[in-house]
Amino acid sequence: VEVVTKIPRMRAVVDELRRQGRRVGFVPTMGALHEGHLSLVRLAKQRSADVVASIFVNPKQFGPAEDLATYPRDLVRDCELLVREGVASVFAPDGDEMYPPGFATAVEVRGLSDILVGERRPGHFAGVTTVVLKLLDIVRPDFAVFGWKDAQQLVIVQRMVRDLDLPVEIVGAPTVREADGVAASSRNLHLDEPARRAAAAIHRSLQEAIRLVESGERSPQRVEEAVRAILEAEPLLAVDSVKAVGARDLAELKRLGGLVLVLVSVRVTVEGRDPVVLIDNVRIEVQEEAPPKGSP
Ligand code: PAF
């Protein structure tokens, strides 16, 4: 597999695929690949003959107090995994290639970027949309795959693509879960055993949200409270937020209806290091209640 580091070369590789009439799928990543990423590649492979994956630890989406320096990097291992999945090429630029000296542009989806995760990580989503727009413009894929695990990111990227009329389809991929229900994430590597056991409560709490909605609960507050109660019962978890919002626009809801996202963010206490932030969510299609008997 070719590991491409320069933008003009990446464009030439994709141009050649297009000349051959191939469909191009794209999976952007920051490396440290796990089953979640590989499931995105597999989904892309199912939809197209040729998949380009990128590996770029994007400094613009890390805050000053966040783990950019210690973010795990292992290009050789990541490329081996991608080769095994049959990707056509890997785009792995360095920082100067993406952001040469004097780089001054930022792309931001206002409104969606400063709520929820964005409230706790100011500037994070502007960093994501800036790099994703650049990557989409470099690779020019027919479609790009993003995981539902990072639901807010996916909704923001979809909105950017719509607002800027980008000729690419954004495909959402289901969250991959490990045997205990914990969503696959590079951050799971930081969990010790007690933290890992506590983290399993996240999935349980989201299952409870589904159960409540399926049994007819339509109050966002009551669903949020039930989820929060399960999380708060775990001494190693500190709840940052629990929110039930509209899945298309992350809007607050008075009453649950349509496609709903229940989003959770917690900090897990791990001995000997800073707490680990974990986010997770479920999407629930809320059925409209049947009209009362006898109504027209
Ligand atoms: O989800 C990620 O890994 C990153 O936010 C992305 C989309 C690769 C942009 O850097």
Q: Model confidence over 12-36: pLDDT tens digits? A: 999 999 999 999 999 999 999 999 9
Ligand 1 closest atom vs CA 58: 10
Pocket test for ligand 1, best of 27, 29, 60 (most atoms within 8 A of CB): 29
Q: With cut-offs at 50, 70 and 90, classify the pLDDT of residue 294.
A: low
| pLDDT value, residue 215 | 96
Task: Report the interhelical angle of 124-139 vs 151-163 (nearest 10°).
Answer: 60
SS3 51: strand
29 in contact with ligand 1, CB cutoff 6 A: yes
Give residue 156's pLDDT band: very low, low, confident or very high (50, 70, 90). Answer: very high
User: Considering only CA atoms, which of 263, 275, 272 is closest in space to residue 234?
Assistant: 275
CA 26 to chain CA mean position, Å: 14
- Look at 59-73, 84-98, 201-215 and tell me which has the smallest mean pLDDT: 59-73
Residue nearest to ligand 1 atom 2, measured at CA: 29
Q: Tell whether ligand 1 has an atom less than 6 A from the beta carbon of residue 150.
A: yes
27 forms bridges with which residues in the sheet?
53
DSSP letter (8 states) at residue 20: T
What's the pLDDT band for 42 if we cut at 50, 70, 90? very high
Q: Report pLDDT digits (tens) over 219-273.
A: 999 999 999 999 999 999 999 999 999 999 999 999 999 999 999 999 999 999 9
Strand-pairing partners, residue 24, are 50
Residue with CA nearest ligand 1 atom 1: 29
Say if residue 292's pLDDT is above 80. Answer: no
Query: Which of the residues 34, 37, 190, 203 is marked catalytic?
Result: 37
CB distance 51 to 26 below 8 Å: yes
- Assess whether pLDDT exceeds 60 at residue 173: yes
Give the pLDDT of residue 65: 86
CA dist 2 and 5 (Å) reads 9
Which residue's CA is the closest to the ligand 1 atom numbered 5? 128
pLDDT in the model for residue 293: 66
Q: What is the pLDDT of residue 36?
A: 98
Q: Decide: 128 in ligand 1 pocket, CB within 6 A.
A: yes
Model confidence at 174, in pLDDT bands (50, 70, 90)? very high
Strands of the sheet with 50-55, listed across from one edge: 2-4, 89-91, 50-55, 24-29, 143-147, 169-173
**pTM greater than 0.75:** yes
Question: Could you confirm whether 37 is annotated as catalytic?
Answer: yes
Q: What is the pLDDT of residues 82-115, one digit of tens each?
A: 999 999 999 999 999 999 999 999 999 999 999 9
Centre of ligand 1 to C-alpha 28, Å, is: 6
Protein residue closest via CA to atom 9 of ligand 1: 128
Dist. CA 187–CA 230, nearest whole Å: 22
Pocket probe mutation, ligand 1, options 153, 155, 168, max atoms within 8 Å of Cβ: 153
The C-alpha atoms of residue 48 and residue 11 are separated, in whole angstroms, by 18
CA of 253 to the centre of ligand 1 (A): 28
% the chain with pLDDT above 90: 93
Banded pLDDT at 154 (limits 50, 70, 90): very high
Residue type, 80: E
The strand pair at 237-246 and 258-268 is best described as: antiparallel
Residue nearest to atom 8 of ligand 1 (CA): 29
